[in-house]
Amino acid sequence: MNYPVPINETERLAALHELKIVDTESTPELDAIVRVAAAIFEAPIAYISFVDQDTQWFKAMLGLDESQTHRDFAFCSYAIVTDKTLIIEDTTQDERFCNNPFVTQSPWIRFYAGVPLSLDGETNIGTLCVLDTKPRIATEAQLNQLEQLQNVVVGLIRAHATAIKAKAAERYARQRGKLLSQAERLSGIGAWSLDTNRLETKWSPQVFHIHELTGPQPPSLDEALAFYPEHERARLAQKIDMCIEHGISYEIECDIVTAKGNKRRVRSTGETEHGHDGTKFLIGIIEDITDQYEQEQNLWLAANLDSLTGVANRHCFHREIEKRISTESVENNQLALLMIDLDHFKDINDNLGHLAGDHVLRTVAQRIQQSISHNAFCARLGGDEFAVLLSMAPNTYSAEELATELMEKINLPIKYEQHEIRVGASIGIASHEARTATEDELFLKSDLALYHVKQNGRGNVKSYEPAITDAYEDKWRSILLVRSAITEARLEPYYQPIIDLKTQEIRGVEALARIRNSDGTVSGTADFWYVFCEPQCAREIDEVMLDLALRDIAHWKQSGLDIDFVSVNASSACIQSDAYADRVLAGLAEHGLSPSDLKIEVVESVFLGNESVDVRNVLERLSAAGIRIALDDFGTGFASLSHLRDYPIDCIKIDKSFVCGLGQNSSNTAIVQALVGLGRSLNLEVIAEGIETKGELDFVSALGSQFGQGYLFSRPMDRQSLVRFVTDMTPFKTVEGNLSI
């Protein structure tokens, strides 16, 4: 015997056997509780078990094939010896279970959470358990809900015990002629009888109590039926007639309205009995199951409805999709899934508080419900994400039309206290013929369409099309390429010289991200540009490039190489965080560098949006430390002049799109001249990017640009090639109309 035994094992087994519950069929109520427990933990396995002398027997289960196991291997053998929830976060790390066959082989249990079941608070007869095939840490909310379900299971077991006692009472009463008094004494369940000839009733005191009626005279049959609402009355009357005429016993659950006007739920049974003189009686019991019924209803609500908004939850929505795929395919209809994401909802919570956010969610849910027709189904999937499932006959109201209408309704102002809140929405749509649709496909395609909207400015509607998948796959290929390159140290800087146009000498270099592939080829940013739209990836690239560039410039300076500074690019994901400034300053100190040895380049898009204040703070901190800030691709963004005024900018880099064709395109010439003049008037360094021809060089020099950068001077190169390039070079000179070194 390799399991602990409770000190009251004898009494525990006696209590279990007295219930007569072992080896009985499960019930819908217990099956529902098991499903709810599994859903709460998002786990594949859950069960209600009773632990007998040598065997653990499963009363209700989900995710298991066996109906019982030997007690040696039962996790619940340990749960019943405690009065608290037993939690095993990783069975392989627990010496009690690491060699258990259910851990080392199928079903490969790694996580267990079980609460003991006791009718008296001292004798644990079984458990309610949730299991998973991966290790995990249960949340406090999940454990609280599991303990609430524990109370419900105990209540149902008590009801089972009560029913067993009640049936025994009926048999005993028929034998002894004491049906009514025995039912009262045993369980508080009321007993009644009806003389079918004279239609006279007899009620036990508990029946009077259930109906909140004072005795001693019981009502007539018609008066008794009047306690039931009309639709319930007809059902019960039919059962009574069938029992009287054909001897068919019945059990029925109905609502009643008591003599005091209170609504209650009762369970009533009836069967025929004959007296000594041949008189036919109808006898039965009635039980007030209001509390149990309300618990079951609350369980259903918890399992199917979102508690905040009152619309369906994710679990219920999945079932609805499954149902519609099977039913709508018969009518050859289409299904459309609208995935709705509220734009910038986090700002509402941050600025006005979570109560305001909850009010917005409830209002949006109400507006969606009011806007959809009977053939649509709405749910809140979680957070600020809603979904609408729409069934459509061919050539009828389209999903795009509904989505546009929903956006208009959601965009209307929402009043909260003294505030008027406006929230937008992005909607992705996936449509499919019901007969060929799958739930996974609808979710995937609508998610991809929604992602496309969010990546392209939000506040719009987009239906799925194959090109979205292509773009998504390209993005993930780029992400995998970059992450593997970082892990394997294959992400490295290539340096492009920045030339002083007066002296024709190198002043500095710009570090550009490149990936050295396993076959020896080198990938430029054009091969993985998607990753710069993903904040985490962009941040990782920036951090690696900063560290490598500081390492290289430090080495060059120690070697006496004539390079004044290195310039690195900083994405919006980095430049919004003080942690980036900490990293920059720590890197300079680590390599013994001066702040003037580093220039940080940003593009104008980092100044837009709600994080602009954070960006300003970071740039001002870096500038105050002596690091120069360059505004890259100047002239292609928004509100450039205000950026020069409001942010600590030391240098502007004229975008290569303006430099290209100088001397041939009069508009570009005028723009570059204006930008150079602006920079000089503000005492800013001006760097012309993308110089590729002698003519372009002559023009930017003539227009007053101090520095230049482009393929005319050099393509980006690795650090070894740059050292050779700088060591071997002389100032750039013009020879027969061409540049040479």
Backbone angles phi, psi at 623, to 5 degrees: -65, -40
Is the pLDDT higher at 443 or at 612?
Answer: 443
Higher-confidence position of 727 and 410 = 410
The sign one gets for the Cα dihedral 215, 217, 223, 228 is positive
**Candidate from 47-51, 150-154, 628-632 with smallest mean pLDDT:** 150-154
Instruction: Give the pLDDT mean for 43-72.
Output: 90
Helices (H), 54-188: 76-79, 101-104, 140-176, 179-187
Return the pLDDT at 609.
63
- Cβ contact 338:425 at 8 Å: no
- Position 730 scores a pLDDT of 57
Predicted confidence at residue 221, as pLDDT, reads 87
Specify the pLDDT at position 737. 38
CB 458 within 8 A of CB 426: yes
Whether residue 399 has pLDDT greater than 70: yes
Q: What is the mean pLDDT of residues 389-410?
A: 84
Mean pLDDT, all residues of the chain: 86
Which of the residue ranges 280-294, 377-391, 606-620 would you say has the lowest mean pLDDT?
A: 606-620
Sheet holding 45-51, edge to edge: 68-70, 55-62, 45-51, 124-132, 111-118, 86-88
Q: How many CB atoms lie within 10 A of CB 436?
A: 9
pLDDT > 70? residue 184: no
Burial of 474 (0-12, 13-18, 19+ CB in 10 A): middle
What's the confidence (pLDDT) of residue 330? 52
Across 203-207, 316-320, 331-335, 617-621, least confident range: 331-335
For residue 189, is pLDDT > 70?
yes
Residues in the chain: 741
Q: DSSP state, 564?
A: -
| pLDDT score of 736 more than 60 | no
pLDDT in tens, 637-681: 554 577 788 889 999 998 888 888 776 667 777 888 888 888 888
User: Is pLDDT larger for residue 390 or for residue 730?
Assistant: 390
**Chain centre to alpha carbon of residue 303:** 17
Residue recorded with tokens 């609430």 = 148
Q: Residue 580: helix, strand or coil by DSSP?
A: helix
Bigger pLDDT: 301 vs 16: 16
CA distance 78 to 121: 17
d(C-alpha 351, C-alpha 421), whole Å: 11
Confidence of residue 396 (pLDDT cuts 50, 70, 90): low
Stretch among 300-314, 322-336, 433-447, 549-563 having the lowest mean pLDDT: 322-336
Which band of pLDDT confidence, cut at 50, 70 and 90, is reported for residue 734? Answer: very low
How far apart are the C-alpha atoms of 695 and 701, rounded to whole Å? Answer: 10
At residue 622, does pLDDT exceed 80?
yes
Question: Which uninterrupted H or E stretch holds 484?
Answer: helix 466-487
Quick one: which of 217, 235, 233 has its CA closest to 225?
Answer: 233
pLDDT band at residue 610, thresholds of 50, 70 and 90? Answer: low
pLDDT recorded at residue 134: 94
For residue 255, the model assigns a pLDDT of: 92
More confident residue, 209 or 184: 209
Residue 500 has pLDDT above 60, yes or no: yes
The strand pair at 424-433 and 461-463 is best described as parallel
Q: Please name which of 494, 500, 508 lies closest in space to residue 726, comparing C-alpha atoms.
A: 508
Closest CA to 12 of 92, 97, 71: 71
Q: In this predicted structure, what is the pLDDT of residue 205?
A: 84
- The H-assigned helical ranges of 535-686 are 535-559, 572-575, 578-590, 612-624, 640-646, 656-659, 666-681
pLDDT of residue 689: 92
Average pLDDT over residues 625-633: 91
The mean per-residue pLDDT over the stretch 396-412 comes to 87
pLDDT level of residue 738 (50, 70, 90 thresholds) = very low
The pTM assigned to this predicted structure is: 0.51
Rg of the Cα atoms in the chain: 38
| Mean pLDDT of the region 483-498 | 92
Mean pLDDT (whole number) for 598-627: 85
> What HEC string does 59-74 produce?
EEEECCCCCEEEHHHC
Q: Could you give the 3-state DSSP secondary structure of residue 427?
A: strand
- Band the pLDDT of 388: cuts 50, 70, 90: very high
| 588 contacts 566 by C-beta, under 8 angstroms | no
Residue in this structure with the two tokens 């799925």, named with its chain if needed: 464
More confident residue, 1 or 312: 312
- Mean pLDDT for the stretch of residues 540-554: 94
Give the pLDDT band (50/70/90) at residue 117.
Answer: very high
**Residue 323: is its pLDDT beyond 50?**
yes
188 or 104, which is more confident?
104
Nearest partner of 671 among 648, 685, 688, judged by Cα:
688
* Pairwise CA distance, residues 464 & 496, whole Å: 41
Instruction: Give the angle 579-584-589 at the CA atoms, nearest 5°.
Output: 125
Helices (H) and strands (E) in the chain, counts: 25, 29
| pLDDT tier for residue 567 given thresholds of 50, 70 and 90 | very high
Return d(Cα 469, Cα 448) in angstroms, integer. 7
> Among 254-268, 279-293, 549-563, 599-613, whose mean pLDDT is lowest?
599-613
pLDDT in tens, 405-439: 999 999 999 999 888 999 999 999 998 876 677 88
Residue 392 has pLDDT above 70, yes or no: yes
Q: Quick one: 273 exposed, middle or buried, by C-beta within 10 A (0-12, 13-18, 19+)?
A: middle
